[in-house]
Structure 1
Amino acid sequence: MRAPERGALPLRLAATLGRTYGRLTETVQGLADEDFARPTRCEQMAVGPLLVHLLYDAERALTAFASPSTSEPDRDFVSYWKDFPAGSGSDPSFVQVVASAYKNPSRSLVGHWREVSEAAVRAAAVASADKHHLVQTQGHVLRIGDFVATLVTEATIHHLDLTLELPDAPEPDPEALQVTARTLDGLFGPEAWDVIAWDTTTYVLKATGRLPLDDQDLEMLGDHASRLPLIG
């Protein structure tokens, strides 16, 4: 079965990022302090440390939006992830230590996340006014739309990570899920994703190693199964 047609990236990616970060805020606001110790799909990261990880990503975004480049882009929203294959994630011990410093995470950590993430969304909207704007991040140069798409993908995957033991959490933004799936399509290639029969959320979870492949999946994917996970 051919994968759903995902089309081009949204024209208003800053708005997509705003909804993506907003859904994350909805997920963590109202949690009790003890909920920040609940496990997630991210190995060795509870809810609190994973939110710290997302907070640092939003801070990195703010730095990138304030770091324009005149060099030619050397990555797009797909090839950016080739530098971060499965197993290349950072040591979780750092964010665990930082998370432990928030003594009342339901107020202090969530408040810090909200402040930084909302500032990143405002900066994204300003930077995106010029579609030719180029930014520098992690040693690479990307067009503004490609960069914002990477932020959406990262946040969407981690949103699904956070909800493992938070049954009342909202689902990720539908457009953000499509951006994430479109990114995975680019990494997987049409010869692989043309055979995928998963719904979009299952695709994101299985293609990033959050859910294991069962026998039916292995039969469906054939030789392509060895390429998963695409992103860690």
Structure 2
Amino acid sequence: MRAPERGALPLRLATTLGRTYGRVTETVHVLSTADFDRPTRCDGLAVGPLLVHLLYDAQRALVGFASPASAVPDRDFVTYWRDFPPGADGETYFERTVASAYRRPGALVQHWRELSEAAVRAATAALVDKGRRVETQGHVLRATDFVATLVLEATVHHLDLIVDLPGAPEPDPEALQVTARTLDGLFGPEAWDVIGWDTTTYVLKATGREPLDEDDLDMLGPYADRLPLLG
């Protein structure tokens, strides 16, 4: 069974990032104080602390776009994630502590909105220069590849956020395609031939958010041990 075609990265990737972050904002701005204590798919992180994690990724975006590089890129939007294998998640105490420091969830949401919207504006400006390179996490990436890493991070964590939030919006469809395209690269060329899940299921199972069942193991065959691809 063949996976749905995902194709190349979108031409207007900054717009994709804007919709990706916007869906997160749409999810969290209507939540009650109690909702910020609801569980997510990330062990040890409730909704509030996970939003802090996303907030710091938007901050990473701003730092990256303000850190132009002239060196040859040593990572792309796929190989960047090989530095973050499954089980490599950091300590969650930091995110929990920061979340608790906000006196009210609305202040955290406002901070997220401001940082994420600024990151999208920076991405839009950066991608005007087709050859722009940035430095992040000790590596050099083309700006397009860097934006794709931001899309994946926010998309996967959006799915984490909404697990206990009935009626919350789903991630942006194009962002899911970018995420799946990245996972294809991590899995290898066999992904096109053996993976038959819909895109959301692929993201959840390939990142270890949902366990593999017997049908999945039969479908994947000898490639099952490649999953999860990242944590």
- What RMSD over aligned residues (CA atoms) do the two structures have, in Å? 0.7
SS of 2:218 mapped into structure 1: helix
How many Å separate the matches in 2 of 1:181 and 1:219? 21
How far does residue 190 in structure 1 lie from its aligned partner after superposition?
Answer: 1.7
How many Å separate the matches in 2 of 1:188 and 1:194? 11
How many Å separate the matches in 2 of 1:192 and 1:124? 30
Asked whether the 8 Å contact 2:3–2:191 carries over to 1, the reply is no
How many Å separate the matches in 2 of 1:191 and 1:197? 12
Asked whether the 8 Å contact 1:192–1:224 carries over to 2, the reply is no
How many Å separate the matches in 2 of 1:85 and 1:92? 17
SS of 1:14 mapped into structure 2: helix
How many Å separate the matches in 1 of 2:78 and 2:219? 24
Asked whether the 8 Å contact 1:33–1:104 carries over to 2, the reply is yes
Which one-letter code corresponds to 2:194 in the other structure? V
Which one-letter code corresponds to 1:223 in the other structure? P
Match of 2:41 in 1: 41
SS of 1:124 mapped into structure 2: helix
Match of 1:216 in 2: 215
Asked whether the 8 Å contact 1:192–1:221 carries over to 2, the reply is no
Which one-letter code corresponds to 2:159 in the other structure? L
Matched, 1:189 2:197: no
Match of 2:138 in 1: 139
How far does residue 192 in structure 1 lie from its aligned partner after superposition?
Answer: 3.6
Asked whether the 8 Å contact 1:67–1:136 carries over to 2, the reply is yes
How far does residue 44 in structure 1 lie from its aligned partner after superposition?
Answer: 0.9
Which one-letter code corresponds to 2:214 in the other structure? D
Which one-letter code corresponds to 2:101 in the other structure? A
How many Å separate the matches in 1 of 2:143 and 2:44? 32
How many Å separate the matches in 1 of 2:69 and 2:125? 16
How far does residue 191 in structure 1 lie from its aligned partner after superposition?
Answer: 1.6
Which one-letter code corresponds to 1:20 in the other structure? T
Q: Deviations over 1:117-160 (max 9, x none)?
A: 00000000001100100000000000010000000000000000
Match of 1:158 in 2: 157
Which one-letter code corresponds to 1:60 in the other structure? R
How many Å separate the matches in 2 of 1:113 and 1:66? 19
Matched, 1:89 2:89: yes
Which one-letter code corresponds to 2:41 in the other structure? R
How many Å separate the matches in 2 of 1:123 and 1:90? 27
Which one-letter code corresponds to 1:165 in the other structure? D
Match of 1:148 in 2: 147
How far does residue 11 in structure 1 lie from its aligned partner after superposition?
Answer: 0.5
How many Å separate the matches in 2 of 1:97 and 1:109? 13
Asked whether the 8 Å contact 2:2–2:195 carries over to 1, the reply is yes
Q: Deviations over 1:22-51 (max 9, x none)?
A: 000000011001110000001111000000
* Runs of 5+ consecutive residues of structure 1 not aligned to the other structure: none
TM-score (norm 2): 0.99
Q: Which runs of 4+ in 1 moved over 6 A?
A: none
Matched, 1:102 2:108: no
How far does residue 193 in structure 1 lie from its aligned partner after superposition?
Answer: 4.0
How many Å separate the matches in 2 of 1:8 and 1:53? 28
TM-score (norm 1): 0.98
How far does residue 207 in structure 1 lie from its aligned partner after superposition?
Answer: 0.2
SS of 2:195 mapped into structure 1: coil
How many Å separate the matches in 2 of 1:156 and 1:167? 17
Pick closer, same or farther for the CA change 1:183–1:86 going to 2, 3 Å.
same
The number of aligned residues is: 231
Asked whether the 8 Å contact 2:3–2:195 carries over to 1, the reply is yes
